[in-house]
């Protein structure tokens, strides 16, 4: 992870701290073929045009110094909005950032899920489908990904086209708080870094409980509030939940839940089990 991403108080020209993280992805997304140089201003202008976020990301070239330095007044706000609801080019970029930064969390999720070929699994807020692809490559479990963002549903479907074609995976646009699946459709479910964006945690937990079979497992993976506080782009748009709050919400939805620390304590999973009946 680029160190500049976790500055508590970003330096005055904080433009470069989020950009330094995504810099490596810029050329590949904006200019995949020609190896063309993509300037910072071109990058931000493309994002602004792509998302209609021109007001949210005021762009001003520093012509006095002749450099490519820009002022992005609310780049953190822009990034927060993209993590919550990725769309267009900005969504594709934050998707790549997530995949790179969160790989250890994805691996921890896979370990906690411990899939067998007989499992039927739901990914809530699957983003660009990276974790779905990882799991599909490691077991014959049946996988379903849902996400609110049409851009992410398209990205996840494209990334996993061969699994979708083979009938091993389905990806669709859906709200985690209002699932179309019948009761008891899945043996396991998971969600990585999405609970901050759920509008109604109680209702979402009740939905997850409903679609899980008795004995089913739900692994909810997230960063701690202390970790979130060190990330400047999470100041707005991210709801903070205490671990006890999430365990209690799982209990009220009918789960038996406990927390498991991950990544040396900077993240954790709320591991919830639906009781076995009888």
Ligand X SMILES: C[S@@+](CC[C@H](N)C(=O)[O-])C[C@H]1O[C@@H](n2cnc3c(N)ncnc32)[C@H](O)[C@@H]1O
* Binding stretches for ligand X (CB under 6 A): 83-86, 98, 102, 124-127, 130, 146-149, 152, 175-177, 192-194, 197-198
Instruction: Indicate the DSSP class of residue 277.
Output: P
Using the minimum distance from each CB to ligand X, give the nearer residue, 14 or 82: 82
Indicate the burial class of 67 (C-beta count within 10 angstroms; 0-12, 13-18, 19 or more). Answer: exposed
Alpha-carbon span 188 to 208, nearest angstrom:
10
Instruction: Output the smallest distance, CB 277 to ligand X, in A.
Output: 28
Q: How far is the CB of 51 from ligand X (least distance, A)?
A: 14
Give the residue from 50, 166, 46 showing the smallest Cα distance to 59.
46
Nearer to ligand X, 43 or 198 (CB): 198
**Least distance to ligand X from the beta carbon of 105, Å?**
7
Q: What minimum distance in Å lies between the beta carbon of 2 and ligand X? A: 18
Closest approach, Cβ 183 to ligand X, in A, equals 19
Is 130 within 8 Å of 104 (Cβ atoms)?
no
Q: Which is nearer to ligand X, 70 or 97 (CB)?
A: 97
Residue 20 CB, nearest approach to ligand X (Å): 19
Nearer to ligand X, 10 or 127 (CB): 127
Q: For residues 43 and 31, is the Cβ–Cβ distance under 8 A? A: no
For ligand X, the closer of residues 127 and 216 by Cβ is: 127
Spell 156-182 as b/e; 16+ CB within 10 A means b: bbebbeebbeeeebbbeebbbbebebe
Q: Which residue is nearest to ligand X (CB)?
A: 127
C-beta closer to ligand X: residue 61 or 134: 134
CB atoms near residue 36 (< 10 Å): 10
Rounded distance between C-alpha atoms, residue 45 and residue 96, angstroms: 19
């Amino acid at each position: 992870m680029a160190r500049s991403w976790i500055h508590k108080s970003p330096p005055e020209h904080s433009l470069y701290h989020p950009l330094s993280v995504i810099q490596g992805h810029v050329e590949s997304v904006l200019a995949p073929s020609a190896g063309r140089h993509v300037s910072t201003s071109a990058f931000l202008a493309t994002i602004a045009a792509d998302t209609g976020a021109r007001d949210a990301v005021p762009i001003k070239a520093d012509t006095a110094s002749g450099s490519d330095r820009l002022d992005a007044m609310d780049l953190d706000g822009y990034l927060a909005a993209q993590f919550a609801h990725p769309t267009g080019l900005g969504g594709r970029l934050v998707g790549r950032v997530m995949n790179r930064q969160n790989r250890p969390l994805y691996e921890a999720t896979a370990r906690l899920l411990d899939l067998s070929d007989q499992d039927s699994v739901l990914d809530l807020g699957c983003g660009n489908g990276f974790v779905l692809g990882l799991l599909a490559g490691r077991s014959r479990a049946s996988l379903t990904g849902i996400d609110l963002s049409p851009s992410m549903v398209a990205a996840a479907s494209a990334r996993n086209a061969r699994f979708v074609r083979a009938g091993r995976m389905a990806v669709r646009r859906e709200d985690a708080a209002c699932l179309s699946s019948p009761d008891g459709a899945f043996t396991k479910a998971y969600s990585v870094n999405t609970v901050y964006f759920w509008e109604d945690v109680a209702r979402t937990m009740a939905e997850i409980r409903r679609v899980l079979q008795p004995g089913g497992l739900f692994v909810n993976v997230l960063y701690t509030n202390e970790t979130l506080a060190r990330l400047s782009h999470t100041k707005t748009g991210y709801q903070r939940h205490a671990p006890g709050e999430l365990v209690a919400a799982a209990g009220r939805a009918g789960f038996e839940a406990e927390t498991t620390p991950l990544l040396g304590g900077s993240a954790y999973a709320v591991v919830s089990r639906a009781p076995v009946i009888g």
